Amino acid sequence: MANASWSDKMLQLLRRMNNFHSPGSSRATCLRFEIAGAQIGWIPPHVASVLKGYPGVFNRPHGGAISLCHNLDSYGSRSEAVDNVLQTLRKGRSLACLKGWRDEKYEVMAKFCDTPLMSMERAATSLFGVKRYGVHINGYSWSENGELRMWLARRSATKQTYPGLLDNLAAGGLAAGIGIKPTLIKECEEEACIPADIAKMARPVSTVSYTYEDEEGVFPECQFVFDLELPTEFKPRIGDGEVQDFYLLPIHEVKQLLVCDEFKPNCAMVVLDFLIRHSFIEPDTEPFYQEFVAGLHQTL
C-alpha cells in the first residue's frame, strides 16, 4: 500500500477496525455469551476452554452459547462471581489482556438502553466480546479569517494503550454508574483542563461503532461523539498526564494525518465522521464515500 491514495488508506483502516465482520475472522468459531437468554457478547474458543474450569459460574457450552449458571440471577451475584473468576485468571497470567487490569468496571447489557445485567472489569471485556461504550469530543475553533481548525491531543508516552499517538481533544470510557454527559465533563476537565461551563456546551452529534478482533479477544465498541466549539482565545492545557501535548491544526493537515499511522485508530474514525458531517468529504469527490459511512456505523 506504499503508493495507495488517501482514500485507499482510509478504507483499509476502517476494514481493520471492522475485521470481526470480515471473511476469515473468528466469528464462525466464537460462542455466544448469553445472560438471562439475551446475547451480550462473543467468546473466542481459547477463552471458552478456560471457562470450562469454572462450572460453578459458567454453564458448559450448549447450542453454540455459554451462559452463566442459573443461580446467578442478579446484577450483584453475576458481577461478583465473574469478578472472582477473573481475579483468579489474572494471577495465572495466561490471558494477556488481564495484564492491563485497570480496576475500572464497565456495565454489561445487550443494548445501551437496557438495564445492565452485570458489571465487568474493563480489561476483561474482550474475553467475552461484550460491547464497550465511550465518549469522544471533537474540539474545534474558527480562525480570524474564518478557517475551521481542530484541536488534537497527543497521548502520553506512558499510556497503557497506543502511547504517543494522536487522539481527540478528550475521550474516555463509560464506567459503571456514570452517564454520558457527566463522563464528557469529567474527561474534558481531567485531560484538557476545560471547565465544566464550556464542556457542557458540547453537542451530541453521532455515534461511531465498529468491531475488531486481535490476540486479546473481540472488541465491539460504540463511541458517543460530541462536537465542542471552543472560544478562539481558549487553549486546552495538560491535566492528569494522559496527554503530553495539544495541537490546533487546519483541517487539511488533520485529514492527511489520519492515514499516516499517527492516530489511535478509533480516534481517526471519529475525526473522519467529523469531516463527513461538516462536508469536508463529499460524495461527488470521494469514491469511497458510502464505504466510509458504512464503516463508521457497523453494529453486530
Distance CA 26, CA 214 (A): 10
Element (H, E) at 23: none
Write 72-76 long-range contacts (CB < 8 A, 24+): 73/36, 75/116, 75/117, 75/118, 75/119
Residue 3 banded pLDDT, cuts 50, 70, 90:
low
Whether the pTM exceeds 0.85: the reply is: yes
Strands 65-67 and 31-35: parallel
Residue 94 banded pLDDT, cuts 50, 70, 90:
confident
Q: Are the C-beta atoms of residues 22 and 298 closer than 8 Å to each other?
A: no
The predicted-structure confidence for 153-179, as pLDDT tens digits, reads as follows 999 999 988 999 999 999 999 999 999
* DSSP SS3 for 142: strand
The predicted-structure confidence for 45-58, as pLDDT tens digits, reads as follows 999 999 999 999 99
The owner of cell 497527543 is 154
For the chain, state the CA radius of gyration.
20
Q: Would you report the helix, strand and coil content of the chain in percent, each value rounded to 5? A: 35, 30, 40
Q: Which pLDDT belongs to residue 2?
A: 42
Q: Cα dist. 168→140, 154, 176, 266 in Å?
A: 10, 8, 22, 10
| Higher-pLDDT residue of 164, 240 | 164
Average pLDDT over residues 235-252: 95
Residue type, 44: P
Residue 122 banded pLDDT, cuts 50, 70, 90:
very high
Strands 132-142 and 217-229: parallel
Domains and CATH numbers, the chain: 6-21+132-295 (3.90.79.10), 26-127 (3.30.750.160)
Strands 166-167 and 148-155: antiparallel
